Amino acid sequence: MKVIETIKEMQELSKKHKSEGKVISVVPTMGYLHKGHLRLIEKAREISDIVITTVFVNPTQFAPDEDFEAYPRNFERDSKLAESGGTDYIFHPSVNEMYPMGFSTAVVMSGITKKFEGKSRPNHFAGVTTVVAKLFHATVADKAIFGQKDFQQCLVIKKMVKDLNFPTEIIISPTVREQDGLAMSSRNKYLSEEDRKNAGILFRALEKAREEIEKGEYQRKIINAHMIKTLRTVPSIKIDYSLSADAETFEEPEVFPAGREIVLLIAAYLGKTRLIDNMLVRIPQNLGDNSGKFVEGL
């Protein structure tokens, strides 16, 4: 495995491999790798000849009051893990390499970037789309693997690729979880012992909503209420949002149509740590008359 620090060298290597007919996959990350990232790297290994893992903590997707400086970093450990997962190249540019003096272009998307995560973190997705566009150009990858853990990000990247005609194929890989259901995240390291014990509540809230949908619930507000009620069993939790939406359009109708795939989305703070999670659920084909039967006590 080789570490590449400049865009020029990365592009030249990728172009050479492409001229040899090799298929290249990229796994964009901010480092501090865990088993969730590793699954993406392994997936890339399965479907391509050359695997590039990028490790870059992108300053432009953090707001000034967020954790850019404090974001956990350990490049030595990342290198070992990335190599064990089958990475051929780690692309590890400096901030100056990615955003040299005079840099002034951005990829900005309207619509779905304004909702949910975008509402709580107003410039976040512009930072994400811009850096991902740059990483696609730097790596000249044929395929890119992203984690469902960041569901809205997946939708945004897919849309950017479609809207701007990137030739890159986007592959989404399922969320990897801890034993209690907590989605793995570099930020879990911030959790106190007490908060870590409580953190499984996000997954339990998603599971509760899924169960209710499978029993026949299709009214959006009731689905949301089931999640909120479950989350509130942890008194210290601060809910940023906890909602359900059409998984393709992010629309929020009063009732979800039969057979439609929806996404349950949660962002919540435990202590100062902001956790996000989501789950895809399909509304049953036969709606029956169970909707609203579980409202009592909500």
Q: Which residues bind ligand AMP (CB under 6 A)?
A: 29-30, 36-37, 39-40, 146-147, 149-150, 173, 175-176, 183-186
- Ranked by CB distance to ligand AMP, the top (closest) residue is 147
Instruction: Please state the closest distance from residue 88 (CB atom) to ligand AMP, in A.
Output: 18
Instruction: Considering the candidates 37, 92, 124, 226, report the single residue annotated as catalytic.
Output: 37
Of the two residues 168 and 186, which places its CB atom closer to ligand AMP in the complex? 186
**Smallest separation (angstroms) from ligand AMP to the CB of 150:** 4
Q: How far apart are CA 91 and CA 79, in angstroms?
A: 10
Query: Strands 273-282, 261-270: parallel, antiparallel or unpaired by DSSP?
Result: antiparallel
Q: Of the two residues 73 and 293, which places its CB atom closer to ligand AMP in the complex? A: 73
Minimum Å gap between C-beta 196 and ligand AMP is 15
C-beta closer to ligand AMP: residue 186 or 224? 186
Cβ proximity to ligand AMP: between 184 and 234 the closer is: 184
Tell me whether residue 188 or residue 291 sits nearer to ligand AMP (CB atom).
188
Instruction: Name the minimum Å distance from CB 145 to ligand AMP.
Output: 7
Q: How far is the CB of 98 from ligand AMP (least distance, A)?
A: 15
67 HSE (CA, 13 A, CB side): 12
Q: What is the 3-state secondary structure (H, E, C) of the chain?
A: CEEECCHHHHHHHHHHHHHCCCCEEEEEECCCCCHHHHHHHHHHHHHCCEEEEEECCCHHHCCCCCCCCCCCCCHHHHHHHHHHCCCCEEECCCHHHHCCCCCCCCCCCCHHHHCCHHHHCCCHHHHHHHHHHHHHHHHCCCEEEEEHHHHHHHHHHHHHHHHCCCCCEEEEECCCECCCCCECCHHHHHCCHHHHHHCCHHHHHHHHHHHHHHHCCCEHHHHHHHHHHHHCCCCCCEEEEEEEEECCCCCCCCECCCCCEEEEEEEEEECCEEEEEEEEEECCCCCCCCCCCCCCCC
Which residue, 156 or 231, is less far from ligand AMP as judged by CB? 156
> Is 37 an annotated catalytic residue?
yes
d(C-alpha 27, C-alpha 52), whole Å: 6
Q: Closest separation between CB of residue 237 and ligand AMP, Å?
A: 20
Q: Which residues are catalytic?
A: 37
